[in-house]
Amino acid sequence: MRIVLLGAPGSGKGTQAKLLMEQRGIPQISTGDLLRAAVSAKTALGLKAKAAMDAGELVSDEIVLGMVRERLAEPDAERGFILDGFPRNGAQAAALDALLAEIGQDIDRAVHIQVAFDELLKRLTGRRTCTQCGALYNVYFSPPRQEGVCDRCGGTLMHRDDDNEQTISRRLRVYQEQTQPLVDYYQAQGKLATVSGSGEVADILRRVSETLSA
């Protein structure tokens, strides 16, 4: 199954994508993760992307589309995938449809995970990620047993560079202006399902899974 997860920064897309990946045996493809890996590896692409990411702006479509095209060509994406953080604007959505059409495929379902604005802010400012295994925590809602240390693997927890208040408000504005219209795009294609992203992670997963089985 080919799935797009839509939702504001902090809506829990990444958490749900990881759980769906385990449940369905198809890869999570997060353009944010791919870009952060390129930035840490200091590749030419990473160096180009860094300034936009630090400012909370979108990285150019050209860079992101090139990366997605390469990733979708890998063998594990043949049986399906969960796109997390892509597409992020109309041009990317149209380019994705065109790319898939070239190989006779299309998106099966777009799931919009909806969360109130105030909750998004708390989730983003409190978010911590394990530098070793990628596990996600939140200092307000789901803190690790020991501050700064991953419960699962003992790795160091980090606060993402772009999870500071100024960049967060910019990222939320960019979402509203550029990404939110994709809800209508997928609605018009008859592929959209909207679920509430508030409450327990397991309940949200159940809601997402139900829309995928419907």
Query: What single letter denotes the amino acid at residue 48?
Result: K
Copy the structure tokens of residue 176.
Answer: 């509203």
Contacts 24+ apart (CB under 8 A), 195-204: 195/111, 195/112, 195/113, 195/114, 196/113, 196/114, 196/115, 197/7, 197/11, 197/12, 197/113, 197/114, 197/115, 198/115, 198/116, 198/119, 201/12, 201/15, 201/16, 201/19, 204/12, 204/16, 204/113
Exposed / middle / buried, residue 73 (Cβ in 10 Å: 0-12, 13-18, 19+): exposed
Q: Does 185 bind ligand AMP (CB under 6 A)?
A: no
Question: Which of 26, 56, 127, 193 forms a contact with ligand AMP (CB under 6 A)?
Answer: 56
Provide, rounded to whole angstroms, the least separation between the CB of residue 146 and ligand AMP: 25
Q: Is 88 in the site for ligand AMP (CB under 6 A)?
A: yes
Of 18, 21, 48, 52, the residue at the interface with ligand AMP (CB under 6 A) is 52
- 69 classed as catalytic: no
Q: Residues 125-164 vs ligand AMP: string with x where CB under 6 A?
A: -------------------------------------x--
Per-residue 3-state assignment (H helix, E strand, C coil) for 44-77: HHHHHHHHHHHHCCCCCHHHHHHHHHHHHCCHHH
Question: Which among 16-24, 56-64, 127-135, 198-206 is the span making contact with ligand AMP, rule CB under 6 A?
Answer: 56-64
Size of the site for ligand AMP (CB under 6 A): 17
The phi-psi region of residue 168 (left if phi > 0; otherwise alpha if psi is between -120 and 50; otherwise beta) is alpha
Q: Is 127 an active-site residue?
A: yes
Let me know if 24 is a catalytic residue: no
Out of 8, 19, 58, 107, point to the residue binding ligand AMP (CB under 6 A).
Answer: 58
7 binds ligand AMP (CB under 6 A): no
Q: Which is nearer to ligand AMP, 98 or 154 (CB)?
A: 98
Q: Could you tell me the two tokens for 95?
A: 């380019």
Which residue's Cβ lies closest to ligand AMP? 32
The Cα–Cα gap between 1 and 134 comes to 24
Marked catalytic residue, from 88, 123, 128, 207: 88
Closer to ligand AMP by CB, 9 or 204: give it. 9
| Residue 35 touching ligand AMP (CB under 6 A) | yes
Choosing from 7, 27, 46, 85, the residue that interacts with ligand AMP (CB under 6 A) is 85
Catalytic residue numbers?
Answer: 13, 88, 127, 160, 171
